[in-house]
Amino acid sequence: MAQSGPIKLKNLLTLISVGVLVGTEFIGVAIAAGWAIAGLFQLGNTIALVLMVAFGFVSLYALFEFMKRAVSLEPIRG
């Protein structure tokens, strides 16, 4: 259900800030995990890249779900 009313700039700024912070953490952990796993098992550069991309997509999905919940708790309009 669409909400009406003016945009709450404080809530919007908070959501953007938390999205950037959490997104950076998720992506950083995903890339580091792919690199570390490939290095630990000596899988080579190609597999390392594949793991980093796969974990990156998982982290983007996690960020999407996180932001959906954040917006439901801190509405932008109201």
pLDDT digits (tens, 9 = 90+) for 30-55: 999 999 999 999 999 999 999 999 99
Q: Is residue 44 part of a domain?
A: yes
Angle at 23 between CA 61 and CA 29, to 5 degrees: 85
Q: Is residue 41 part of a domain?
A: yes
**pLDDT of the residue at 1:** 52
Q: Is residue 78 part of a domain?
A: no
Neighbouring residues of 33: CB distance < 8 A, sequence distance ≥ 6: 51, 55
What domain range includes position 40? 15-71
Q: Is residue 6 part of a domain?
A: no
Mean pLDDT of the chain: 94
**pLDDT of the residue at 77:** 87
**pLDDT of the residue at 78:** 74
Q: Is residue 8 part of a domain?
A: no
